[in-house]
């Protein structure tokens, strides 16, 4: 499977990134180019691919003789996933290295955060952020190497209104500087044509967009527009399929790059409209180093013209600038500012007064097997859409008939069912908390990371065995073994320590496990196949996928099994005896260590099962465990520590609160609603719905 090659490529890709970040003393025979690409965290889906492009460009320049007798060296400081980490990375870069130019993040919020420092040090920086707010900074050292969002919003609106002839567009967008700017731009365009746009947002770290999509359908949207990053854009299309929504989709560049499309099945893309900066097949005459083929072979990713090749072109531009004007940052900046018709691999670049180096975009439509068919080029300079290739020969990508808006009752039932489905996964994780707490009095804060490892092991198991069901079962067995290992390596040595020490130990192990996952499987999100399939099933107007039905059924079976184990078997009686008084149980001849090991094995198995059921619904990456742990912990508090029914009910309450809150109150604050509910329980009923009334067990 693709994962094996992809994982090794990521491992190899991370090593030079780490080495480059570590840096070394600069000598007189080299020219250092700086970069702040995100190579870890949620933004690595694009950041790492950009770093690879910069890396290969530097290698190619050096292979061609370097620059004025010197070799280029790339130094990258990891921008991470936050604005503050991006600023810190840039400050560290310019303080430790003498650079004539820098290549910074492709994420608009990070670019805006870095802008002040960039202007202060006076070193030109190239980026691929689209937000219109970047222009408002009036920073003459920022150069945008891709079309700005004022071009992209006009192109998206043109497809929806002129190509698809829709009248009620619905936008789902990420709630940050980029997404909000894109939403404002579209609203202005539609308002000028007398059309009111419907919109729903989601947080940058959200994994479930079902409620937002359902809300857009409920409000009568006849076309879906998207504005997000790679992982979340893929999640939107995946949720669209799972909900049986057939509305046509028009998205920006995130839907046109391989970091997104590799996460999706072909049928989830067919008929989708997306934007790309250029059609690379038409630019192969400028691919003098055979970059396109070499990149794909080296990193097992198809290079895209919206990020990867643009940054590759950028290195060659800066190399040419240094050749002609030297290494002085201001002269290099002036050279880039004066570029006109600079022909490169992606396109011909011309820098305008606002630092934009291109002002047109290509609209494509996906045919079967993820093939992009160019529809037309949209030029902001001319204010019109240039005609593209004739599409009359094939109509196999015509979007399906629009999804009809459901009745209020059916819409509410659909929303509630979505909440129950995700609540079942929270319930499984909450059961892991309950089992460990009941047996040991300890809250296992490594639970979220165990979930992620379970999903990753599922991906590896399926890849190794070449079959979904055996690979999934192998991963589940491995997670049970990991739970036993955790007992012997972590809990048992700390067993006699204060409870807070053991809790800190679980947190430390969680961090270690998360980083091990990052090193083995890499930072990019990956898709876990479902043994049950994700084909939508309609029952009385409620649409669910086969996998979601399986999630609910498996949760019910697990809960029933745990109840029988705990209350109808000898082993269960011993487990409850140990939970009540371990010393007394030992005097009665019960193997306390064995019961503890069994408890941790069950907890590991539940976490693994949660990951294996969650992975096909969302996408798997090393950083998602924290959010899962917090939600399932909230479910445990609401249901009550020490109660199996409470864990299940708490998980369902959290899932329903998320889903209903996003649909009927605010998608932006759905997480806040969940934790507000948790705080309410802590104040009004601290023992939860079914928990012990005492603050501490005697």
Q: How confident is the model at residue 400 (pLDDT cuts 50, 70, 90)?
A: very low
Check whether 531 has a pLDDT greater than 90: no
The chain-wide mean pLDDT, for the chain, equals: 86
Mean pLDDT of 30-35: 96
Q: Which pLDDT score is estimated for 363?
A: 95
Q: How confident is the model at residue 45 (pLDDT cuts 50, 70, 90)?
A: confident
- The residues, ordered by sequence, that sit 6+ positions from 499 with a Cβ below 8 Å of its Cβ are 441, 442
Q: Delimit the CATH 3.40.50.2300 region(s) of the chain.
A: 2-146+288-356, 150-280+361-386
Q: Give me the residue label for tokens 């067995």.
A: 477
Tell me which architecture the domain covering 150-280+361-386 has in CATH: 3-Layer(aba) Sandwich (3.40)
Q: Give me the residue label for tokens 């693709």.
A: 2
Q: What percent of the chain has pLDDT over 90?
A: 46
Please state, in angstroms and rounded to a whole number, the distance separating the CA atoms of residues 229 and 46: 9
Backbone angles phi, psi at 657, to 5 degrees: -60, -40
- Tell whether the torsion through CA atoms of 605, 606, 612 and 615 is positive or negative: negative
Q: Which pLDDT score is estimated for 386?
A: 39
Mean pLDDT of 444-472: 90
Q: Which pLDDT score is estimated for 15?
A: 46
Measured from the Cβ of residue 594, the count of other Cβ atoms closer than 10 Å reads: 12
Please state, in angstroms and rounded to a whole number, the distance separating the CA atoms of residues 217 and 213: 6
pLDDT digits (tens, 9 = 90+) for 619-650: 888 877 877 888 889 999 999 877 888 889 99
- The residues, ordered by sequence, that sit 6+ positions from 234 with a Cβ below 8 Å of its Cβ are 260, 261, 263, 264, 525, 619
> Of 223, 232, 112, 113, which Cα lies nearest the Cα of 166?
223
Check whether 397 has a pLDDT greater than 50: no
Selection from 129-138, 269-278, 436-445 with the highest mean pLDDT: 269-278
What kind and span of H or E run contains 669?
none
Distance of CA 688 to the CA centre of its chain: 33
Q: How confident is the model at residue 226 (pLDDT cuts 50, 70, 90)?
A: very high
Backbone angles phi, psi at 248, to 5 degrees: -65, 155
Mean pLDDT of 291-315: 92
Q: Which range (111-120, 196-205, 507-516, 530-539) has the least confidence?
A: 530-539
* Helix 329-337 / helix 308-325 crossing angle, nearest 10 deg: 120
Q: Which pLDDT score is estimated for 354?
A: 93
Q: Which pLDDT score is estimated for 361?
A: 93
pLDDT digits (tens, 9 = 90+) for 479-525: 999 999 999 988 889 888 888 888 888 889 888 888 888 888 887 78
Q: Which pLDDT score is estimated for 384?
A: 45
Q: Which pLDDT score is estimated for 16?
A: 47
Q: Which pLDDT score is estimated for 640?
A: 87
Q: Which pLDDT score is estimated for 445?
A: 85
User: CATH number of the domain at 2-146+288-356, out of 3.40.950.10, 3.40.50.2300, 3.30.230.70, 2.60.40.3080?
Assistant: 3.40.50.2300
What's the angle, vertex CA 523, arms to CA 518 and CA 529, rounded to 5? Answer: 95
Q: Which pLDDT score is estimated for 411?
A: 74
Task: Report yes or no: 107 and 43 within 8 Å, Cβ to Cβ.
Answer: yes
Check whether 691 has a pLDDT greater than 60: yes
Q: How confident is the model at residue 669 (pLDDT cuts 50, 70, 90)?
A: confident
Q: Give me the residue label for tokens 């067919």.
A: 270
Q: Which pLDDT score is estimated for 499?
A: 81
- The stretches of 346-446 forming alpha helices (DSSP H) are 408-440
Q: How confident is the model at residue 693 (pLDDT cuts 50, 70, 90)?
A: low
Q: How confident is the model at residue 381 (pLDDT cuts 50, 70, 90)?
A: low
Q: Which range (74-83, 153-162, 399-408, 467-476) has the least confidence?
A: 399-408
Q: Which pLDDT score is estimated for 567?
A: 84
What is the pTM for the complete model shown?
A: 0.80
pLDDT digits (tens, 9 = 90+) for 594-617: 998 999 999 999 999 989 988 888
Check whether 9 has a pLDDT greater than 60: no
Q: Which pLDDT score is estimated for 182?
A: 93
Q: Which pLDDT score is estimated for 12?
A: 46
Which tokens belong to 640?
């009550």
Check whether 78 has a pLDDT greater than 80: yes
Check whether 13 has a pLDDT greater than 60: no
Q: How confident is the model at residue 383 (pLDDT cuts 50, 70, 90)?
A: very low
Check whether 2 has a pLDDT greater than 70: no
Q: Euclidean distance between the first and final Cα of the chain, in Å?
A: 53
Q: How confident is the model at residue 330 (pLDDT cuts 50, 70, 90)?
A: very high
| Phi-psi label, residue 580: left if phi above 0, alpha if psi -120 to 50, beta otherwise | alpha
- The residues, ordered by sequence, that sit 6+ positions from 692 with a Cβ below 8 Å of its Cβ are 640, 641, 642
Check whether 292 has a pLDDT greater than 50: yes
Q: Which pLDDT score is estimated for 343?
A: 94
Q: Which pLDDT score is estimated for 333?
A: 97
Q: How confident is the model at residue 224 (pLDDT cuts 50, 70, 90)?
A: very high
| HEC readout, 203-271 | CCCCCCCHHHHHHHHHCCCCEEEEECCHHHHHHHHHHHHHCCCCCCEEECHHHHCHHHHCCCCHHHHCC
Please state, in angstroms and rounded to a whole number, the distance separating the CA atoms of residues 627 and 623: 9
């Amino acid at each position: 499977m693709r994962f094996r090659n992809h994982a090794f490529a990521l491992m190899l890709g991370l090593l030079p990134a780490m080495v480059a970040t570590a840096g070394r003393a600069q000598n007189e025979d080299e020219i250092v180019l700086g970069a702040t690409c995100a190579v870890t965290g949620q933004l690595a889906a694009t950041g790492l691919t950009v770093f690879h492009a910069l890396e290969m460009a530097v290698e190619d320049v050096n292979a061609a003789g370097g620059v004025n007798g010197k070799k280029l060296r790339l130094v990258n400081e990891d921008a991470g996933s936050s604005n503050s980490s991006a600023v810190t990375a840039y400050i560290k870069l310019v303080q430790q290295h003498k650079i004539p130019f820098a290549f910074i993040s492709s994420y608009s919020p990070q670019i805006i955060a870095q802008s002040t420092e960039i202007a202060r040090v006076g070193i030109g920086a190239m980026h691929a952020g689209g937000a219109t707010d970047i222009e408002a900074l009036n920073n003459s050292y920022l150069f945008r190497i891709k079309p700005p969002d004022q071009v992209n919003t006009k192109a998206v609106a043109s497809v929806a209104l002129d190509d698809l002839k829709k009248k009620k567009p619905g936008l789902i967008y990420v709630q940050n500087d980029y997404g909000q700017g894109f939403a404002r731009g579209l609203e202005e365009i539609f308002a000028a044509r007398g059309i009111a746009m419907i919109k729903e947002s989601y947080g940058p770290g959200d994994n479930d967009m079902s409620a937002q999509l359902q809300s857009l359908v409920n409000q009568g949207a006849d076309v879906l527009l998207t504005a997000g990053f790679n992982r979340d854009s893929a999640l939107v299309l995946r949720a669209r399929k799972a909900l049986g929504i057939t509305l046509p989709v028009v998205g920006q560049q995130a839907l046109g790059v391989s970091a997104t499309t590799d996460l999706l099945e072909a049928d989830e893309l067919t008929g989708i409209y997306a934007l790309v900066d250029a059609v690379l097949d038409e630019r192969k005459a400028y691919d003098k180093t055979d970059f396109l083929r070499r990149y794909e072979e080296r990193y097992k990713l198809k290079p895209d013209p919206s990020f990867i090749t643009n940054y590759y072109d950028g290195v060659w531009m800066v190399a040419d600038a240094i050749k002609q004007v030297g290494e002085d940052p201001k002269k290099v900046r002036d050279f880039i500012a004066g570029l006109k018709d600079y022909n490169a691999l992606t396109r011909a670049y011309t820098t305008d007064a606002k630092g934009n180096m291109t002002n047109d975009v290509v609209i494509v439509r996906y045919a079967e097997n993820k093939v992009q068919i160019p529809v037309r080029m949209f030029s902001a300079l001319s204010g019109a859409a240039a005609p593209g290739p004739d599409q009359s020969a094939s109509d196999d990508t015509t979007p399906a008939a629009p999804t009809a808006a459901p009745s209020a009752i059916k819409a509410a039932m659909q929303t509630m069912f979505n909440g129950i489905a995700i609540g079942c996964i929270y319930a499984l994780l909450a059961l892991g908390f309950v089992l460990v707490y009941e047996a040991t009095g300890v809250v296992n804060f490594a639970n979220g990371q165990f979930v992620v490892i379970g999903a990753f092991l599922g991906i590896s198991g399926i890849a190794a065995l070449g079959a979904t069901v055996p690979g999934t079962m192998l991963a589940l067995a491995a997670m049970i073994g990991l739970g036993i290992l955790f007992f012997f390596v972590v809990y048992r040595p700390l067993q006699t320590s204060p409870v807070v020490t053991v809790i800190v130990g679980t947190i430390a192990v969680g961090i270690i496990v998360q980083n091990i996952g990052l090193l083995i499987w890499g930072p990019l999100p990956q898709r876990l196949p479902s043994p049950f399939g994700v084909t939508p099933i309609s029952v009385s107007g409620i649409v669910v996928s086969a996998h979601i039905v399986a999630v609910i059924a498996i949760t019910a079976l697990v809960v029933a099994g745990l109840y029988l184990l705990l209350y109808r078997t000898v082993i269960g009686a011993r487990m409850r005896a140990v939970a009540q008084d371990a010393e007394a149980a030992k005097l009665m001849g019960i193997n306390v260590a064995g019961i503890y090991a069994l408890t941790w094995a069950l907890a590991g198995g539940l976490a693994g099962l949660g990951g294996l059921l969650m992975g096909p619904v969302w996408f798997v990456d090393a950083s998602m465990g924290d959010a899962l742990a917090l939600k399932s912990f909230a479910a445990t508090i609401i249901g009550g520590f020490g109660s199996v029914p409470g864990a299940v009910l708490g998980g369902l309450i959290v899932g329903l609160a998320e889903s209903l809150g996003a649909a009927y109150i605010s998608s932006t604050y759905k997480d806040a609603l969940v934790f507000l509910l948790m705080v309410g329980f802590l104040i009004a009923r601290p023992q939860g719905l079914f928990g012990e009334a005492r603050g501490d067990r005697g």
